[in-house]
Structure 1
Amino acid sequence: MFYTSVCVKGLELISRFPWKVGIVGFMVYPELQKTNKGVAEKLKPILEDRFFDLVELYDVSDDDWRILEGYRHRVDFAVGVQPDILAKGVNPSSVDESERVRALEALKDRVRVAGERGIKYLALCSGPYPSEDLIDKSMGALADTLAELASYASKYGITILLESFDTRWDRKRLIGSLRDAADVLRKVRGRCSNVALLWDLSHGPLLDEKPEMLKEYSDLIGHIHIGCAKNLDGKLYDTHPGFYRPGSINDEQDVAKLLEVLYGIGYNGAISFEVRPEEGQDPREVVATAKSVLVKAYQIFIERKLS
């Protein structure tokens, strides 16, 4: 949560940011993708920063969770299991039924732990982009996994968030464009209502997508990430560098445009930073810069609305 001031037509106005502000903890501290111990101590600077209302976690030991629970009077937690899919071979869109079922069971276990801890959102992504002749089957497999997982998650009151990634530049995931994500999610919603879309501003450049395109899918949006893609010699990478880093794509103007769209469609969920330190960079620098970008973007948004 934060307030900021702007001067419009000679009047100084103070405004509270209307969305919860989150951060992906296991990206700003990427070492947390490799261990579930020491999580609470590593995240302490974020947990004690009242700018943040939400922290997204990956894997957390029971001992660390007991410490994190002490912050729940003011901080919400969500879970992201993208590392399981991107780095550990879990494939929820596999056309090999035995592999898909193994993925489903692994994801159910993540849901169970999250549910027992009272967490209400769990984010995932699709498996790798397949050969062209398997795209339709992979889409069907993903829809089945999401429907079965959402059905299981419903007993805990958990919403499953499907995050879209690029299909050809870096991560090369099945999902994909807003259109493809919407097709899958609407099919799943015919069976379960507790599924939604996670759209990441960082992935927009890799998908040729702009915030304005979200207007067509406003009924599906459940969560938003903001951050940057990276351009190195004309090739795009999904490395989530901090704002203003060499090659970073997206700045406060892009974030302001996203805020304008979200306000216009009545989005009332959270907005989370997904930023990662580059080699030799202090995580505190990445976080401080991201915070300043969001404040500037909100000021731009307010000035445009009131001018």
Structure 2
Amino acid sequence: MKDSIHKYFQIGTIQWMSHPPADYEVLDSIKTICCDDYFDVLEVTQMKEEAVRESARRMLEQSHIKVCYGAQPRLLGPGLNPNDIDENGRLKAEKTLMDAVDEAEYLGAGGIAFLAGKWEEKTKEKAYQQLLKTTKNVCDYAAGKGMTVELEVFDYDMDKAALIGPAPYAAKFAADMKCMCSNFGLIVDLSHFPTTYETSKFVIQTLRPFITHFHIGNAVVKEGYEAYGDQHPRFGFPGGANDTQQLLDFFKILKEEGFFDQENPYVLSLEVKPWNGEDGDLVLAGTKRVINRAWALLDD
């Protein structure tokens, strides 16, 4: 493409993936990313200390960067399940998601993203109804603040084993939600397509009416290989399923399906993380090179 990718998408990264908290101080990370004008968006997550939250809010505000908020770690860390068939467990997940809406609003984000919880075949239908209940309640709460709620589509049997899930089931859920809440949408992630045994074309076309946000990355789905599952290793990682060609195919499908919107560009965030001692900044730089090459190969 001759046009810049920034004409059609708001390019972002997921802060806690690019700079894992075990190795990077969150405020240093936020400043580093906000000072890189390749990024139009920064996706952040929970910051438990009030002073850190305030400093982060000020940096994000000064940077003229779009803020998105991922509540996935708030669920995965303590093992909370928004489709828990135990009502007390479901309510705990709902509470943390509503708290996430409040924190997202404080940090300047326009909404939150989350994921479905684990499920079992014998209770799948009950879990589905529980997830509808949680999502509607969170959407209603967010709507009161003029905010959105997005569900990220994950694998259903490989790693996260989330209820949502394969693309057709995600489409059913999103359609049910849209009948109740206009502020709901889906996040699809290129790195999850290999883990759900689906292609870019199938996922994008199946979920076309409900997609509001994109992630891109890599995954290893060969059993016995390092970083197997939903680990988001860098492009070029040994045994990885995605690289420049797969990203190019993804861009082609987005173009064909009308997602190149210069008036209201979609967020497209890279979700890769350093693996086993790798340097997060080098991984970020390498990811940008893959994005730039795939975009350059895309026909006008």
TM-score relative to the length of structure 2: 0.90
SS in 2 for 1:84: helix
Specify the code of the residue in structure 2 equivalent to 1:242: R
Separation of aligned partners in 2, 1:133 and 1:172 = 15
Which residue in the other structure is 1:225 paired with?
215
Which residue in the other structure is 2:245 paired with?
253
Is the 1:47–1:71 Cα contact (8 Å) retained in structure 2?
A: no
For residue 103 of structure 2, the aligned residue among 113, 117, 121 is: 113
The answer as to 2:37 corresponding to 1:50 is yes
Separation of aligned partners in 1, 2:56 and 2:144 = 21
Specify the code of the residue in structure 1 equivalent to 2:15: G
Moved more, 142-151 or 87-96: 87-96
Which residue in the other structure is 1:86 paired with?
76
Specify the code of the residue in structure 2 equivalent to 1:120: G
Which residue in the other structure is 1:285 paired with?
282
Specify the code of the residue in structure 2 equivalent to 1:106: T
For residue 181 of structure 1, the aligned residue among 170, 189, 195 is: 170
1:68 Cα offset (Å):
2.2
1:222 Cα offset (Å):
0.8
TM-score relative to the length of structure 1: 0.88
For residue 71 of structure 1, the aligned residue among 54, 62, 70 is: 62
SS in 2 for 1:237: coil
Is the 2:195–2:221 Cα contact (8 Å) retained in structure 1?
A: no
Is the 2:168–2:206 Cα contact (8 Å) retained in structure 1?
A: no
1:232 Cα offset (Å):
4.6
SS in 1 for 2:68: strand
Which structure carries more strand by proportion? Answer: 1
Per-residue deviation, residues 203-226 of structure 1 (Å, max 9, x unmatched) = 100101111111232110011110
Is the 1:164–1:200 Cα contact (8 Å) retained in structure 2?
A: yes
1:51 Cα offset (Å):
0.6
1:250 Cα offset (Å):
0.3
SS in 2 for 1:249: coil
Separation of aligned partners in 1, 2:111 and 2:36 = 22
Separation of aligned partners in 2, 1:274 and 1:104 = 25
Separation of aligned partners in 2, 1:101 and 1:238 = 27
1:137 Cα offset (Å):
0.6
Separation of aligned partners in 2, 1:88 and 1:225 = 24
Which residue in the other structure is 2:160 paired with?
171
Is the 2:185–2:212 Cα contact (8 Å) retained in structure 1?
A: yes
Per-residue deviation, residues 149-179 of structure 1 (Å, max 9, x unmatched) = 0010012221111011111111111111111
Which residue in the other structure is 1:30 paired with?
20
SS in 1 for 2:187: strand
Which residue in the other structure is 1:3 paired with?
none
Q: Between the two structures, name the one with larger relative contact order (CA 8 Å, sep ≥ 6).
A: 2
Change (3 A) 1:62 1:233: closer
Aligned length in residues: 286
Is the 1:143–1:185 Cα contact (8 Å) retained in structure 2?
A: no
Per-residue deviation, residues 29-50 of structure 1 (Å, max 9, x unmatched) = 1217x99xx4222222211111
Between the aligned residues of both structures, percent identity stands at 30
Larger Rg: 1
Change (3 A) 1:119 1:66: closer
Specify the code of the residue in structure 1 equivalent to 2:131: L
Change (3 A) 1:160 1:70: closer
Change (3 A) 1:70 1:150: closer
Which residue in the other structure is 2:201 paired with?
212
For residue 3 of structure 2, the aligned residue among 1, 8, 15 is: 15
Separation of aligned partners in 1, 2:91 and 2:20 = 28
Specify the code of the residue in structure 2 equivalent to 1:138: A
Stretches of structure 2 that go unaligned for 5 or more consecutive residues are 260-264
Change (3 A) 1:252 1:71: farther
SS in 1 for 2:220: strand
Is the 2:105–2:111 Cα contact (8 Å) retained in structure 1?
A: no
Per-residue deviation, residues 220-261 of structure 1 (Å, max 9, x unmatched) = 001111000014545641110001011222011111111111
